């Protein structure tokens, strides 16, 4: 099916059409004089002829507005109805509030029932209705203004020019929105045709994720070269050791590589090991990384200060290599075992998955970013990293450390869990939900859904048929 885009033009609706609804013919004449161009004023031409004895000069004039008049509310309503039948519109109506029979407020109510887009100016010399009464009858609207009699010609002209132009702009915006909706419908129809014809699924152009490093990464911050060399030799097999010598480069390196463990000295020149540890634990990227602090003191006060700063362990110098090695291995294994696993079939709860509040906030930011872009099938790992202001590498290592999965798997899990919620609680079809949560290939979606929940989407609907009571609206990306 080919969707044809509208080619609506507003040129045929110009000049603007204004309807004057007033039971007093003299008011009609007043409006005519207000909108009459001097070059087309017959009375002024006659005065010039009498005064100067010269025939009037005929000047071709194109009126800025087309004026039509009605002497009652019913007559005005008929004129609007007749024009709409000819596919013509009044952009603006000046309505007198005091008219016999149907008054101005009732006239406006009925006008808006026929043409909700027409702009209206109430003309009145009296306080017939309070602001509360008008609001109660006509509601809160941006299509209504009040003009006090006797009116000023400049004020009337400004009302006319502003409100008619507003009508055109609103109409143009509506046409643009209609075009966009038709384009979306056209693309959706094309996707459905591809699905029904068993077309080859669209290729996945997502950049492959970086493979997880096989060796645990240890960041060592130590200015003593002999000690650094000793620790590097200690972990030469089975680990990758990155060495830096000061706090500034150490913090930047920690954020860049996101190591599995950090070893640092409390007392290095130009570095406060305790403050450095607190900074690491407060940063969203490194908050999960275990830290071992070293110092030349065995006192309880130093150990307590280190633990209060967030350190996971404290080792006194001179180092006992076997003890350091054992504590490093124990911390790495402990963190590996404490990694949360993404739960299957239930919504993700950051507080339940994280070991501390900082990590919970990071996971919450990740999930919110995915939810905001749920229907965008181009929202991939790179886009997710940009949304949470980290690099692709940082995102990979952080998520792997927290929930033992990859960013792509987490992105897919959030999409599938939202799809399950829509299948259970909304009246949307499986096809609609597939596109709504960012999948383009229904076969691929069904496969992933079954892997996640153990059953196909259609079977999931049957199991939750008692919950499908009302449609759920997905928020637009970014509202």
CATH of the domain at 111: 3.40.50.2300
- Residue at which a domain ends, from 310, 338, 366: 338
- Give the pLDDT score at 139: 82
- Give the pLDDT score at 192: 64
Question: Do 290 and 143 belong together in one domain?
Answer: no
Cis peptide before 15 (omega within 30 of 0): yes
- Give the pLDDT score at 11: 45
Question: Do 319 and 372 belong together in one domain?
Answer: no
- Give the pLDDT score at 2: 40
- Give the pLDDT score at 43: 61
- Give the pLDDT score at 142: 85
With respect to residue 194, please indicate whether it lies within any of the assigned structural domains: no
Specify whether the CB–CB gap between 280 and 251 falls below 8 A.
yes
Token readout for 34 is 């207000």
With respect to residue 400, please indicate whether it lies within any of the assigned structural domains: yes
pLDDT mean for each 10 residues of the chain (479 residues) = 42 79 91 71 63 58 79 93 88 92 90 91 81 81 86 89 90 79 70 56 41 76 88 90 80 89 82 85 90 82 85 88 92 79 60 76 88 87 90 90 87 90 87 89 89 89 70 45
Q: Is the dihedral of CA 454, 457, 459, 462 positive or negative?
A: positive
- Give the pLDDT score at 136: 82
Question: Do 385 and 247 belong together in one domain?
Answer: no
- Give the pLDDT score at 199: 43
- Give the pLDDT score at 427: 84
With respect to residue 28, please indicate whether it lies within any of the assigned structural domains: yes
How buried is residue 152: exposed, middle or buried, by Cβ count under 10 Å (0-12/13-18/19+)?
exposed
Question: Do 137 and 15 belong together in one domain?
Answer: yes
With respect to residue 98, please indicate whether it lies within any of the assigned structural domains: yes
How, if at all, do strands 17-21 and 92-96 pair?
parallel
pLDDT tens-digit series, residues 332-365 = 988 887 765 655 555 566 666 677 788 888 888 8
User: Structurally, how many domains does the chain consist of?
Assistant: 3
Question: Do 68 and 163 belong together in one domain?
Answer: yes
Question: Do 243 and 266 belong together in one domain?
Answer: yes
With respect to residue 196, please indicate whether it lies within any of the assigned structural domains: no
Residues 6+ apart with CB under 8 A from 150: 125
Model pTM? 0.49
Question: Do 124 and 226 belong together in one domain?
Answer: no
- Residue at which a domain ends, from 108, 141, 174: 174
- Give the pLDDT score at 108: 92
- Residue at which a domain ends, from 117, 142, 174: 174
345: left (phi over 0), alpha (psi -120 to 50) or beta: left
State the CATH number of the domain containing residue 423. Answer: 1.10.10.60
With respect to residue 343, please indicate whether it lies within any of the assigned structural domains: no
With respect to residue 148, please indicate whether it lies within any of the assigned structural domains: yes
Question: Do 278 and 373 belong together in one domain?
Answer: no
Question: Do 165 and 279 belong together in one domain?
Answer: no
How, if at all, do strands 240-244 and 261-265 pair?
unpaired
Specify whether the CB–CB gap between 472 and 427 falls below 8 A.
no
Specify whether the CB–CB gap between 258 and 397 falls below 8 A.
yes
- Give the pLDDT score at 193: 63
Question: Do 383 and 312 belong together in one domain?
Answer: no
How buried is residue 407: exposed, middle or buried, by Cβ count under 10 Å (0-12/13-18/19+)?
buried
Question: Do 33 and 157 belong together in one domain?
Answer: yes
With respect to residue 186, please indicate whether it lies within any of the assigned structural domains: no
- Give the pLDDT score at 124: 86
H, E, C per residue of the chain? CCCCCCCCCCHHHCCCEEEEECCCHHHHHHHHHHHCCHHHCHHHHHHHHHHHCCCCCCCCCCCCCEEEEECCHHHHHHHHHHHHHCCCCCCEEEEECCCCCCCHHHHHHHHHHHCCCCEEEEEECCCCCCHHHHHHHHCCCCCEEEEECCCCHHHHHHHHHHHHHHHHHHHHHHHHHHHHHHHHHHHHHHHHHHHHCCCCCCCCCCCCCCCCCCCCEEEEECCCHHHHHHHHHHCCCCCEEEEECCHHHHHHHHHHHCCCEEEEECEECCEEHHHHHHHHHHCCCCCCCCEEEEECCCCHHHHHHHHHCCCCEEEECCCCHHHHHHHHHHHHHHHHHHCCCCCCCCCCCHHHHCCCHHHHHHHHHHHHHHHHCCCCCCCCHHHHHHHCCCCHHHHHHHHHHHHCCCHHHHHHHHHHHHHHHHHHHCCCCHHHHHHHCCCCCHHHHHHHHHHHHCCCHHHHHHHCHHHCCCCCCCCCCCC
Token readout for 39 is 């070059």
How, if at all, do strands 267-268 and 261-265 pair?
unpaired
Specify whether the CB–CB gap between 204 and 37 falls below 8 A.
no
Q: Biggest alpha carbon distance in the chain? A: 121
Question: Do 297 and 398 belong together in one domain?
Answer: no
Nearest CA among 141, 151, 92, 162 for reference residue 121: 92
H, E, C per residue of 454-466? CCCHHHHHHHCHH
Range of the domain at 436: 350-467
């Amino acid at each position: 099916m080919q969707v044809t885009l509208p080619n609506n033009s507003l040129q045929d609706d110009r000049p603007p059409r204004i309807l004057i609804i007033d039971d007093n013919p003299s008011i009609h004449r007043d409006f005519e004089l207000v909108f009459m161009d001097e070059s087309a004023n017959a009375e002024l031409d006659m005065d010039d002829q009498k005064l100067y004895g010269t025939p009037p000069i005929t000047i071709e004039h194109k009126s800025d507005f087309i004026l039509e008049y009605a002497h009652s509310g019913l007559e005005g309503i008929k004129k609007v109805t007749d024009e709409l039948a000819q596919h013509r519109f009044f952009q603006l109506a000046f309505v007198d509030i005091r008219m016999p029979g149907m008054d101005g407020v009732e006239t406006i109510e009925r006008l808006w029932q026929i043409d909700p887009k027409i702009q209206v100016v109430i003309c009145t010399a009296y306080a017939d209705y309070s602001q509360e009464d008008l609001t109660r009858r006509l509601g809160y609207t941006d299509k209504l203004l009040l003009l006090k009699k006797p009116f000023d010609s400049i004020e009337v002209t400004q009302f006319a020019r502003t409100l008619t132009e507003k009508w055109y702009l609103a109409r143009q915006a509506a046409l643009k929105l209609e075009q966009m909706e038709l384009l979306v419908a056209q693309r959706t129809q094309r996707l459905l045709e591809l699905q029904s014809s068993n077309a080859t699924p669209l290729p996945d152009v997502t950049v492959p994720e970086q493979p997880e490093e096989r060796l645990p990464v240890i960041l060592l911050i130590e200015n003593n070269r002999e000690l650094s060399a000793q620790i590097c030799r200690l972990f030469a097999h089975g680990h990758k050791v990155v060495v830096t010598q000061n706090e500034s480069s150490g913090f930047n390196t920690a954020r860049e590589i996101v190591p599995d463990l950090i070893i640092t000295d409390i007392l290095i020149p130009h570095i406060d090991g305790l403050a450095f540890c607190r900074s690491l634990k407060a940063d969203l990227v490194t908050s999960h990384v275990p830290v071992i602090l070293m110092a030349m003191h065995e006192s309880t006060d130093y150990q307590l200060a280190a633990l209060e700063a967030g350190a996971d362990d404290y080792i006194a110098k001179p180092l006992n290599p076997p003890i350091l090695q054992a504590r490093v291995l124990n911390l790495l294994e402990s963190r590996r075992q404490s990694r949360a696993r993404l739960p299957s079939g239930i919504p993700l709860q950051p507080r339940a998955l994280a070991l501390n509040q900082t990590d919970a906030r990071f996971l919450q930011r990740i999930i919110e970013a995915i939810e905001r872009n749920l229907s965008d099938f181009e929202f991939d790992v790179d886009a997710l990293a940009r949304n949470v202001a980290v690099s692709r590498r940082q995102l990979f290592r952080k998520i792997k450390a927290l929930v033992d999965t990859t960013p792509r798997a987490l992105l897919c899990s959030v999409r599938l869990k939202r799809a399950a919620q829509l299948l259970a609680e909304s009246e949307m079809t499986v096809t609609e939900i597939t596109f709504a949560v960012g999948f383009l290939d229904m076969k691929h979606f069904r496969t992933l859904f079954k892997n996640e929940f153990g059953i196909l989407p259609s079977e999931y609907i049957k199991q939750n048929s008692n919950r499908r009571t009302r449609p759920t609206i997905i928020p637009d990306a970014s509202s």
